[in-house]
């Protein structure tokens, strides 16, 4: 591939360059594969009542962040080998475990299964929509990344604060912002692959997986708060 080409020199009316096309194809394939350990982890977590230090929510949240960043470091260091793929799949299993508590709570509602299905469908619609926009948009949106990252920092700080505050209105605001921010992140991360800004499919998959995961969990929290039908 000609390294002198700028990202937006892609021929949008035709096909992407072969290397970018390969990265995008592998990203979609690995993203689909990553859903299997996520579902397995969620099933194990729901079946055995997994919870990360339920008696200490703040310490549990910090422990989760520590484990997640350890995975990020390992994946980044080994992203050019099969070890990186295995670490990514291990991380998605861990994220499935972390998702199990939310799913267990949802399944305790009379309409919990429907809410989970609706959140899944909504997430799929967001992903398809953002992927379509990313594949057709010619505008350079690389500058959007720093603003989205700042939004994530705000979400993390607000989420940690609400562990103490326990304000339903703040929780709704956080979930709504998360859906918007991570939907935009799907567009941004896929566009980086299409424009040649990300050339490793393991790193690309990790980024898009986190986007999709957060859209799903935030949508489910919103649906439970607004449309939960009480205990089953």
Place of tokens 């080998």: 81
Q: Which of 144, 157, 150 is nearest to 186 (CA)?
A: 144
Would you state the pLDDT for residue 57? 74
CB 171 within 8 A of CB 225: yes
Each residue's pLDDT, cut to its tens digit, for the chain (232 residues) gives 444 434 334 334 345 568 888 999 999 999 999 999 999 999 999 999 888 777 777 788 889 989 999 999 999 999 999 999 999 999 999 999 999 999 999 999 989 899 999 999 999 999 999 999 999 998 889 889 899 999 999 998 998 888 788 888 888 999 999 999 999 999 999 999 999 899 999 999 999 999 999 999 999 999 998 876 555 5
Q: Long-range contact list for 80-86, CB < 8 A, 24+ apart?
A: 80/200, 80/202, 84/202, 85/30, 85/202
Q: Which of 171, 158, 152 is nearest to 223 (CA)?
A: 171
Would you state the pLDDT for residue 167? 84
Can you give the length of the chain in residues? Answer: 232
Distance CA 172, CA 69 (A): 26
State the alpha helices, DSSP H only, in the chain.
18-48, 57-77, 82-107, 112-136, 144-165, 168-195, 201-227
3-class secondary-structure state, position 175: helix
Distance CA 190, CA 184 (A): 10
Would you state the pLDDT for residue 59? 84
CB 191 within 8 A of CB 137: yes
Would you state the pLDDT for residue 228? 64
Output the pTM of the full model.
0.87
């Amino acid at each position: 591939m000609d390294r002198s080409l700028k990202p937006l020199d892609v021929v949008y009316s035709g096909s992407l360059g072969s290397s970018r096309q390969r990265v995008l194809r592998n990203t979609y394939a690995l993203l689909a594969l990553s859903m299997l350990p996520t579902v397995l982890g969620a099933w194990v977590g729901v079946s055995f009542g997994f919870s990360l230090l339920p008696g200490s929510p703040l310490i549990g949240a910090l422990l989760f962040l520590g484990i997640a960043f350890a995975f990020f470091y390992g994946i980044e260091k080994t992203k050019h080998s099969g070890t990186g793929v295995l670490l990514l799949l291990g991380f998605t299993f861990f994220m499935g475990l972390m998702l199990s508590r939310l799913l267990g709570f949802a399944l305790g509602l009379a309409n919990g299964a429907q809410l989970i299905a609706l959140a899944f469908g909504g997430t799929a619609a967001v992903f398809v929509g953002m992927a379509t926009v990313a594949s057709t948009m010619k505008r350079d949106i690389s500058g959007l990344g720093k603003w989205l990252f700042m939004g994530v920092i705000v979400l993390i700080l607000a989420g940690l604060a609400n562990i103490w505050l326990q304000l339903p209105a703040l929780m709704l605001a956080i979930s709504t912002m998360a859906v918007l921010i991570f939907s935009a992140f799907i567009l941004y991360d896929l566009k980086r692959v299409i424009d040649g800004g990300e050339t490793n499919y393991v790193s690309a998959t990790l980024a898009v997986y986190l986007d999709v995961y957060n859209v799903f969990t935030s949508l489910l929290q919103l649906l439970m708060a607004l449309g939960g039908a009480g205990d089953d």
